[in-house]
């Protein structure tokens, strides 16, 4: 018998247990983390997310994206929620988030509601994870059990946000490598990109594509040009739906669009442009169930990125600032 770990049955001591836990950083995340300390967390969050989406259907997309932009920047640690202070510049004004990331007021409402039922117990990082799941479910997508137990960062990094969130100018190789860096596969990348079946993008992020790219359906190009002027600086914030068909329904239309050269972002169409991910796009386009199960698995994997656990970080009282 060969033990590769420093722990054998005979020496299962406390220090040895600690070693095992440190070895896998998400060892402490579990779906029942708050079952004793905040049994009502799920119903409380869900009703807040439901009313936010009732107010504005797009909010489900915005909340889902917050979780992605949190997890890709030094792990799922609530860092994206921190406001800038006089001593550090946070992530909200990093290029991928400025004039773009939204839903912070909704997160504040969710946090207040949860603080009322269990003060000081549930992290902002975990609230983003639950909120992302609830948003997808409310808009008609798949469900999954959310792993919990993340703690909140006491710092945020604008540079890390600029460097780790893939830009829409990325080609397929770039996209794969951004995901690889955080331990996600190219299959995860294609499945999680299905998030672009909901939500909106700004003209500045698709202008070059609609005026200059040839792998775009010409009638869609024309339609999008009508609300996105060619000249940089004019109409930069004008919006268009990422999924031209059902922008508030979480379905597999994103992939069906790609099959017809109707991806809005340059990066979207990269997933179906004669490369290694074409066949997976075809699969997701024809099999909603395969997409659903890969998407749910991808979200769980994304939620496992470098969480703070144990005595690292803190449970923020206000998601916008450290305690």
Residue in 13, 35, 43, 212 binding ligand NAG, rule: CB under 6 A: 212
The answer to the question of whether 44 is labelled as a binding residue is: no
What span, in angstroms and rounded, lies between the C-alpha atoms of 52 and 134?
Answer: 11
Q: Which does 211 bind (CB under 5 to 8 A by kind): ligand HEM, ligand NAG, none?
A: ligand NAG
Q: What is the DSSP string of 219-268?
A: HHHHHHHTTS-SSTTSSTT-EEESSSS-TTS-SSHHHHHHHTT--SSHHH
CB atoms within 10 A of CB 49: 25
Catalytic residue numbers, as ranges: 69
Site membership for ligand HEM, residue 61 (CB under 6 A)? yes
Whole-angstrom CA distances from 235 to 59, 206, 226, 243, 283 are 22, 12, 11, 20, 36
Residue in 80, 107, 265, 305 binding ligand HEM, rule: CB under 6 A: 265
Q: Which does 201 bind (CB under 5 to 8 A by kind): ligand HEM, ligand NAG, none?
A: ligand HEM
Q: How far is the CB of 228 from ligand NAG (least distance, A)?
A: 9
Beta carbons within 8 Å of 254's beta carbon, 6+ residues apart: 193, 194, 196, 197, 242, 243, 263, 268
Site membership for ligand NAG, residue 113 (CB under 6 A)? no
Site membership for ligand HEM, residue 146 (CB under 6 A)? no
The answer to the question of whether 266 is labelled as a binding residue is: no
The answer to the question of whether 223 is labelled as a binding residue is: no
Rank residues 181 and 230 by Cβ distance to ligand NAG and give the closer one: 230
- Give, as ranges, the residues between 69 and 108 that touch ligand HEM (CB under 6 A): 100, 102
Do residues 76 and 314 lie in contact, with contact meaning Cβ atoms separated by under 8 Å? no
Site membership for ligand HEM, residue 209 (CB under 6 A)? no
- Identify the CA nearest to 314 among candidates 98, 108, 81: 81
Binding site for ligand HEM (CB under 6 A): 58, 61-62, 64-65, 68, 100, 102, 166-168, 170, 175, 189, 192-193, 195-196, 198-202, 205, 265, 267
Binding site for ligand NAG (CB under 6 A): 207-208, 211-212, 230
């Amino acid at each position: 018998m060969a033990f590769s770990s420093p722990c054998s049955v005979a020496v299962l001591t406390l220090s040895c247990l600690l070693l095992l836990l440190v070895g896998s950083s998400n060892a402490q995340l579990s779906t029942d983390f708050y079952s004793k300390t905040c049994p009502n967390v799920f119903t409380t969050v869900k009703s807040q997310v439901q009313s936010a989406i009732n107010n504005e259907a797009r909010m489900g997309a915005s909340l889902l994206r917050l979780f992605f932009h949190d997890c890709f920047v030094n792990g799922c640690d609530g860092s994206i929620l921190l406001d800038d202070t006089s001593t550090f510049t946070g992530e909200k004004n990093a290029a991928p988030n400025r004039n773009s990331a939204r839903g912070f007021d909704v997160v504040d409402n969710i946090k207040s509601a949860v603080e009322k039922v269990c003060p000081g117990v549930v992290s902002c990082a975990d609230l983003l994870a639950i909120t992302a799941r609830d948003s997808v479910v409310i808009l008609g997508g798949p469900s999954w059990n959310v792993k919990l137990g993340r703690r909140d960062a006491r710092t945020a990094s604008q540079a890390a946000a600029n460097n780790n969130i893939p830009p829409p100018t990325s080609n397929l190789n770039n996209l794969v490598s951004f995901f690889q860096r955080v331990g996600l596969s190219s299959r995860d990348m294609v499945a999680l990109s299905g998030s672009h079946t909901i939500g909106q993008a700004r003209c500045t992020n698709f202008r070059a594509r609609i005026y200059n790219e040839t792998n775009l359906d010409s009638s869609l190009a024309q339609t999008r040009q009508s609300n996105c002027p060619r000249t940089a600086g004019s109409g930069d914030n004008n919006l268009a739906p990422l999924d031209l068909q059902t922008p508030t329904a979480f379905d597999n239309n994103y992939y069906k669009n790609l099959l017809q050269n109707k991806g809005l972002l340059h990066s979207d169409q990269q997933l179906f442009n004669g490369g290694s991910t074409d066949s997976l796009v075809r699969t997701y386009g024809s099999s909603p169930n395969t997409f659903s199960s890969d998407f749910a698995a991808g979200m769980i994997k994304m939620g496992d990125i470098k969480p703070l656990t144990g005595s690292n970080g803190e449970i923020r009282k206000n998601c916008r600032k450290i305690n």
